[in-house]
Structure 1
Amino acid sequence: MPSSWENWSGSVRAQPAVIRYPTTLNEIAAIVREANARGVGVRAVGAGHSFTPLAATDGMLVSLDRFAGLESVDFTTRRATVRAGTRIKALGEELGRHGLAQANLGDIDVQSIAGAISTGTHGTGATLGSIATQVVELTLVTGTGEIVTCSEAHNRDLFKAAQVSLGALGIIALVTLQLEPAYRLDYRWAREPLAATLANLEYERLENRNFEFYWFPYSEWALVKRSNRTEAPARPRNLLRGFNDLVMENGAFWLLSELCRLRPQLSPRVARLAGDLISGGQDVNASHRVFATTRLVRFQEMEYSIPAGAMAEAVRMIDARIRQQGILVHFPIECRYVRADDIDLSPAYARDSAYIAVHMYRGMPYRDYFAQIEPILRSFGGRPHWGKLHTLTAAELRPLYPRWDAFAAARRQLDPAGVFQNDYLRALLGDVREEAV
């Protein structure tokens, strides 16, 4: 009897024939060989935090939840090898106990490390790359069940393809990360006028290690977040701040979101109210604890990478479109920056990037809203975040990635029979079996 699986947002449901929970590298390889023998597909899954059907399968679903933890730490080089199913929150705590930390993280820490890098997950910072840029070596299981290791110095072409691979090249089993000595961040947030925020973007993104802002549609206010390194002692969130995060921000916002779901016409008013209620504050804490934000209110999301210099114009265009069309949305729009990299399928490939994400509360119609915003982001040469919703297929994606053919070659080499394909990947990347002919 097939098992059932659902992603975090509820946008994807699947019925795999079986779900496997390997605990060793050799078990992962054996599962792939078994799938080959049975003629069924394989998809790997971590936390299921992608909004797209990347992990969906009616074949074998391989959960890496039981293949987690630190494999080894090299204090001389400040590198650690991590099992693929390790959740980012647990990894941050474990690295901290060893006096080490990742250079940057996103604002959600429940993902597995393999899932985060495979989809191009990122934080924010004009001088900081996505999480995948911290990777210096990968060990993966190919479509034939072979175990392959690649790095900048060994199998480099394969490595540049595998850093952001959507699970299309194989099951990532081990990830070696380049780390930094543990550090603290002084994190400050404040309500500021959206117009002033947009006018000062160039200064803000270059003067702050981590800079981002959220803007509620129909509101004139932005929630501006700045984080910078500090030697000051930690000032962790107190009980009142924890109550505010869990009850006021998540609890109250959930109630407002439910109100909007039941009466969508209230969305503009709720968005303005949310903007008016933005508060300010400060935290000083270990980096991995500052980056993370508690997210209890579930939603659907679309995110695009565009050239860094286009952020202000794109936000103004989105603002105008929402108001002109009277789009019923109350969830904030998230705006961040990522440094250029040289990873084949990274949305930040060869360009410093601005990332703009739009959200809709789960249970409210999102497709029409996203369809209104997507052409704006595409007009700037936008590349979609691989783990977020979008409508592009291989024909539209290929011109956006100069290294597309190199990635396709790596895919043919590692998975010629299409063991790791599902319907979504065929639409996204093309059918590897047809390319191999």
Structure 2
Amino acid sequence: MKQPISNWSGSVRFSPGEIARPGTEEEVSALIRCARNSGQTIRTVGSAHSFTPLVETDSILVSLERMEGVEEVDFDRKLASVRAGSTLKTLGNTFLHQGWSFENLGDINAQSIAGAVSTGTHGTGVRLGCLSEQVESLTLVPADGISIHCSAERNAELFQAARVSLGSLGILTRIQLRVKPLYRLRYESRRLPLGSVMEKLEEHKANNRHFEFYWFPYTNTVQAKFLNPTESPASGKGWWSSFNKLALENGAFWILSEAARLVPRLCPAVSRISARGVPRFEEIGDSQSLFVTPRLVRFNEMEYGLPAEALPSVLEEMKASIQHHRFPVHFPVEIRFVKGDDIWLSPAYEQNSAFVAVHMYKGMPHRDYFAAMERIFLRYGGRPHWGKIHSLEAKDLARLYPRWEDFLRVRRKLDPEGLFLNPYLRRIFGVE
């Protein structure tokens, strides 16, 4: 009997023909050769946290869960070589015990490092790039089954394509990341007026290593989060911090979300209640712990990277659209900031970016809301986060990514028969 697979939000469900769990690079190579010889296709799954059908297949689904762990850390160069199936949480815990930290992380650490790199996962900070930008070298096994090592100095063109590749070039087996000696952060949560945050936006971005904020629809309130390095001792996990993250941000919010799902007209009121409940507190701890926020209330998400200077206009249009259409949404809009990079399929390619994410509670219709927000994002040259919902196809994406054709050329060279493609990737890459 085929084993059904679901992504985190439940928006994608499928049954692969076979699930393979290789434990070594040699087993990965053998699996690829076998699949190619038998005319099957391969998709690789991490934690299934993407909201799009990136890994959906009725053929071979490969899990790298047996290929995890830190292989070595180069103390002089501050580089960590890790196996591609490792989750960010596992790596964070190992780094912590060895005295190292990630340069930056997003607020979820369930993803595998291969999946996070392949989709351009990011945190926030105007002087910091996405997780893929922290990669110094990669090893992948393409369709011929022969592993390739690439970096900025070796197979440089492939390196630019492989750092964000949606798993379409081959199977990643090893990743080398820049790391930092273990450091602590001071995390501050504040409830602020949206107008005040926008007036001081450039100051907040420049004066904080990490800054992000959440705007609550139908209100003028945001939760602003500031994280900065500190030499102060860890404050420990105080009762208020734990109560806020688990009881308020998840338990109480789940109850409110269920009320909104059952009675959608309550959404504006629920958003206002949530805004009034924004906590004001401060906490000091190791970086990999404070980057992460527990996400127990499930949702669907769309996120676009926009030119940073467009953010004020984008938010004004979003506010007007939500108010005009009275969309039944109570989840806050999340805004983060990422330094531009040179990675071909990175949404931050050659532009310092503001990433704007919209969410809809699982079980509530999201299409109209997401479509209206996407139209706004696209008017300002937005590029979709590859792990989040979007409606774009090959012709649209080719206009947004200057190196789109270069990426497709590399993909065709490495995988001319489409061994690593599924219907979704064929559509967005324009492959017949």
Q: Do the structures match in fold with TM over 0.5?
A: yes
Aligned to 1:225: 225
Write out per-residue CA displacement over residues 307-350 of structure 1, whole angstroms, 9 at most, x where no aligned residue: 01111211111011000111110001000000000001000000
Aligned to 2:158: 158
Aligned to 1:282: 282
Moved over 3 A (4+): none
Aligned to 2:421: 421
Match of 1:211, SS?
strand
Q: Give 1:35 shift.
A: 0.8
Write out per-residue CA displacement over residues 178-221 of structure 1, whole angstroms, 9 at most, x where no aligned residue: 11111111110100001111121111111111000001100111
Q: What is the Cα-based RMSD across aligned positions, in Å?
A: 0.9
Aligned to 2:46: 46
Rounded to whole Å, the distance in 1 between the matches of 2:195 and 2:63 is 45
Residue identity over aligned pairs, in percent, reads 50
Aligned to 1:191: 191
Aligned to 1:317: 317
- 8 Å CA contact 1:161–1:343 kept in 2: the answer is yes
1:21 correspondence with 2:21: yes
Q: Give 1:2 shift.
A: 2.5
- 8 Å CA contact 1:199–1:312 kept in 2: the answer is no
Q: Give 1:76 shift.
A: 1.4
TM-score by length of 2: 0.99
Write out per-residue CA displacement over residues 225-269 of structure 1, whole angstroms, 9 at most, x where no aligned residue: 011111111112223421331122201100110111111111111
Rounded to whole Å, the distance in 2 between the matches of 1:25 and 1:271 is 49
Write out per-residue CA displacement over residues 256-283 of structure 1, whole angstroms, 9 at most, x where no aligned residue: 1011111111111100111111111111
Match of 1:179, SS?
strand
Aligned to 1:212: 212
Aligned to 1:386: 386
Aligned to 1:358: 358
Matches within 5 A, 1:361-372: 361-372=361-372
Q: How many residues align?
A: 432
Rounded to whole Å, the distance in 1 between the matches of 2:279 and 2:348 is 32
Q: Structure 1: where are the runs of 5+ without partners?
A: none
Rounded to whole Å, the distance in 2 between the matches of 1:258 and 1:28 is 43
Write out per-residue CA displacement over residues 340-396 of structure 1, whole angstroms, 9 at most, x where no aligned residue: 000010000000000000000000000111011101010110000000000000100
Write out per-residue CA displacement over residues 17-46 of structure 1, whole angstroms, 9 at most, x where no aligned residue: 011111111111111111111111100010
Rounded to whole Å, the distance in 2 between the matches of 1:375 and 1:265 is 24
- 8 Å CA contact 2:136–2:178 kept in 1: the answer is yes
Aligned to 1:252: 252
Match of 1:224, SS?
strand
Aligned to 1:124: 124
TM-score by length of 1: 0.97
Rounded to whole Å, the distance in 1 between the matches of 2:157 and 2:283 is 42
Q: Which amino acid aligns with 1:149?
A: H
1:299 correspondence with 2:285: no
Q: Which amino acid aligns with 1:80?
A: A
- 8 Å CA contact 2:163–2:343 kept in 1: the answer is yes
